[in-house]
Amino acid sequence: MERRGMTATGWAGVLGLAVGLMGAGSGHVHAQDSAGSLSVAAAPRLHFTPQQMALALAVADDADLAAFYGGNGLQPVFLGPEGAARRQALRDAIAAMPDHGIPASRYPLPPSTAPVAGMEAELAHARQAARLLRDLTRGVLTPASVDPEIKREPGPSPVPALLAAFHAAADPGAVLEGAAPDLPAYRALQAALQTRADLTVPADLPRIPDGLWRPGGQGAGVAPLRARLAWIGFAAPGADPDLYDAALSEAVAAYQRAAGLPDDGIAGPRTIARLNGEDASGPDARQRAITVALERLRWMGAEDLQARHVWVNIPEFSTTIRQGGAEVFRTRSVMGKDTPEMRTPEFSDMMANVVVNPSWNVPRSITVRDYLPKLQANRHAVSHLDVLDGSGRVLARDGIDFSQYTAATFPFRLRQKPSDDNALGIVKFIFPNQWNIYLHDTPSKHLFGNRVRAESNGCIRIGDPVDLAHALLSVQSDDPAAVFGRALDSGRETWLTLRPAVPVHLVYFTAWPGPDGQIRLFADIYARDARIWTALQAEGFGTGGDVIAEAR
């Protein structure tokens, strides 16, 4: 069979021609020229054996396999003695899929004792290899189909190239093992999935009374707290068993880290409920959160998460700068309220500008929902906002009858000029996107003291915005504070261009490794993880003891 250097993409086109022409009874096809049209005179005649044609027809419904086998000359790769190493590598990789939080039962293969001759055996192995590689590189689920607020689109499929590498490799198993995200966070989540501590306390131990225990506290509830901690390996001997001393606080913090709770060393209601076995979000919930986090990282497989980037983890209410896998800056953040119009979406983009002394162009949804009723009651209400026409010209309110407009017909825009009480504070961080989401300062500083900070209209409010600006500008300036200060002192809206632009990832991880490698858990504030877990169950997760049992 002639190939004449055709690429996998070209051969995918040949497969399409082969499939189409088989219906006309042709035993051969002509290749396409570079423009995609059929070149009868110049192209070589490509002759297919019946086996090759059968293979072309069989994989025509799978673009990854069609491209791979097209580039491979429609030759089997799993059959016979020469395919034995590949068959075994695939079986080994399937057996290891619970390490990724994916049930091995998702990839059924014929018994190892079954004959491995003929097209049926080839296709059985090929389809499971392609599915396994798709799952590891792009995720099991399509993000937007689970929740429309997850704005992640899979990139071009790497599966044909990986299958080609698998076919050519002296160690095909290494290709399959290396397909998953090569990230420290992914490996830490895998380790936590496999090696979790058994934090179950026998029910016959004395129950810890409800309360709040912190260092220096004393009472009858401390002794049962010590007893339950000691049973699961967090002993804290003390001269006075009823005293909540420093050693006990350290033991509580260690338990909290293992359980995925905030490790403040204070035994509050959530810690006590978990130790009493009365918290529904127990070990299995922790494993589900980790399983979902692994799936989310696979969705981000095409992103370079080792490069410098801004990382906004919505359930953690935090914004960080990460570089080389390490965190180099952190600040508290406020995220969108848990309502359909205000929840902060998930997506990745490029942060292009730091805007100092920003104007606030009030989003239309806020304008008609919050401000139009006030203007209808009193045209001079919300006087800190200018009313603009479509060309951006500021209008006098005395000439406007706001009562004649509805939310659908209101023709004006509202804008707040730069000021000390501007809703965006003194700086915002722009990454142009269709959802009009950005990071910004805020005059409402009190919200950063709350544990749950889902309080915004969708954008991300930054607790230390000036420090974030300095950190972002430090790559391009030896004195970023001076650059920022000059722009601020001007009193004018000033756009500082980031060179180069910085990737920004708005993500939603309820399980994530802290600096010490221990997994931290965060509340599923928008119930997105719950929806993902339900979708994973539909794909075979959580059945027959699910992947959690397989991973133990």
E strand residue ranges, 64-155: none
284 or 396, which is more confident: 396
Tokens representing 261? 């709770």
CA atoms of 328 and 308, how far apart (whole Å)? 9
| Average pLDDT of span 466-474 | 98
CA atoms of 279 and 254, how far apart (whole Å)? 18
Token pair 């570079």 is at which residue?
34
Tokens representing 413? 């825009």
Q: Where are the alpha helices (DSSP H) in 261-347?
A: 269-275, 283-299
Q: What is the pLDDT of residue 126?
A: 97
Q: Taking the CA of residue 413 as centre, how many other CA atoms within 13 Å lie in the half-sphere pointing to its CB?
A: 15
Q: What is the pLDDT of residue 321?
A: 97
- Active-site pick, 100, 440, 470, 505: 440
Inform me whether the pLDDT recorded for 33 exceeds 90: no
Written as one letter, the residue type at 276 is: N
- Determine contact, residues 346/507, Cβ cutoff 8 Å: yes
Q: What is the pLDDT of residues 183-236, one digit of tens each?
A: 999 999 999 888 655 677 777 889 999 989 889 998 888 999 999 999 888 999
Q: Residue 440 catalytic? A: yes
Instruction: Please give the C-alpha separations between residue 370 and each of 362, 367, 382, 461, in angstroms, as whole numbers.
Output: 10, 6, 10, 19
Q: Taking the CA of residue 184 as centre, how many other CA atoms within 13 Å lie in the half-sphere pointing to its CB?
A: 15
Q: How confident is the model at residue 153 (pLDDT cuts 50, 70, 90)?
A: confident
Q: What is the pLDDT of residue 546?
A: 42
Q: What is the pLDDT of residue 25?
A: 41
Token pair 């003390």 is at which residue?
238
Tokens representing 11? 């051969």
Percentage above 70 pLDDT, the chain: 88
Q: Which residues contact 364 (CB under 8 A, 6 or more apart)?
A: 413
Instruction: Please give the C-alpha separations between residue 127 and each of 51, 61, 78, 109, 133, in angstroms, as whole numbers.
Output: 17, 11, 11, 10, 10
Nearest to 15 by CA among 50, 60, 49: 60
Strands 454-456 and 326-336: parallel
- Determine contact, residues 480/356, Cβ cutoff 8 Å: no
Nearest to 19 by CA among 56, 66, 70: 56
Q: What is the pLDDT of residue 451?
A: 86
Q: What is the pLDDT of residue 37?
A: 40
Written as one letter, the residue type at 2 is: E
549 or 363, which is more confident: 363
Q: What are phi and psi of 486, to 5 degrees?
A: -65, -40
Inform me whether the pLDDT recorded for 87 exceeds 60: yes
Percentage above 90 pLDDT, the chain: 66
Within 10 Å of residue 50's Cβ, how many Cβ atoms? 8
Judged by average pLDDT, the poorest of 73-87, 106-120, 294-308 is 106-120
552 or 424, which is more confident: 424
Q: What is the pLDDT of residue 433?
A: 94
E strand residue ranges, 360-443: 360-361, 386-388, 413-416, 427-430, 439-440
Judged by average pLDDT, the poorest of 243-257, 258-272, 392-406, 429-443 is 258-272
CA atoms of 11 and 129, how far apart (whole Å)? 20
101 or 49, which is more confident: 101
Q: What are phi and psi of 460, to 5 degrees?
A: -105, 115
Nearest to 468 by CA among 324, 285, 330, 265: 330
Q: How confident is the model at residue 46 (pLDDT cuts 50, 70, 90)?
A: low
Q: What is the pLDDT of residues 118-145, one digit of tens each?
A: 889 999 999 999 999 999 999 999 999 9
Nearest to 162 by CA among 88, 99, 111, 89: 89
Q: How confident is the model at residue 548 (pLDDT cuts 50, 70, 90)?
A: very low
Which of 256-270, 442-456, 512-526 is modeled with the greatest confidence? 442-456
Q: Answer whether the bond into residue 500 is a cis peptide, omega within 30°.
A: yes
Token pair 């260690």 is at which residue?
254
CA atoms of 328 and 478, how far apart (whole Å)? 17
| Average pLDDT of span 316-320 | 97
Q: Residue 47 catalytic? A: no
Residues comprising the chain, all counted: 552
Q: Which helix (H) or strand (E) covers residue 168, if one does?
A: helix 159-168
23 or 91, which is more confident: 91
Q: What is the pLDDT of residues 157-190, one digit of tens each?
A: 999 999 999 999 999 999 999 999 999 999 999 9
| Average pLDDT of span 306-317 | 96
Tokens representing 466? 């000036």
Q: What is the CATH code for 316-359+417-507?
A: 2.40.440.10
Instruction: Please give the C-alpha separations between residue 224 and each of 250, 291, 340, 526, 544, in angstroms, as whole numbers.
Output: 16, 33, 44, 35, 36
- Determine contact, residues 362/415, Cβ cutoff 8 Å: yes
E strand residue ranges, 300-433: 309-313, 318-323, 326-336, 347-356, 360-361, 386-388, 413-416, 427-430
Q: Which residues contact 130 (CB under 8 A, 6 or more apart)?
A: 62, 64, 65, 68, 159, 163
Q: Mean pLDDT of all residues in the chain? A: 87
- Determine contact, residues 356/496, Cβ cutoff 8 Å: yes
Tokens representing 45? 């005649």
Per-domain residue ranges of the chain: 8-177, 316-359+417-507, 363-415
Nearest to 46 by CA among 83, 22, 93, 14: 14
Q: What is the pLDDT of residue 276?
A: 87
Inform me whether the pLDDT recorded for 318 exceeds 70: yes
76-91 burial, b at 16+ Cβ within 10 Å, e below that, comes to bbbbeeebeebbebbb
Q: What is the pLDDT of residue 301?
A: 83
- Active-site pick, 167, 309, 459, 470: 459
CA atoms of 398 and 76, how far apart (whole Å)? 79
Q: What is the pLDDT of residue 403?
A: 93
CA atoms of 453 and 451, how far apart (whole Å)? 6
Q: What is the pLDDT of residue 196?
A: 57
Cα dihedral 511, 341, 450, 420 sign: positive
Q: Taking the CA of residue 219 as centre, how many other CA atoms within 13 Å lie in the half-sphere pointing to its CB?
A: 11
- Determine contact, residues 66/60, Cβ cutoff 8 Å: yes
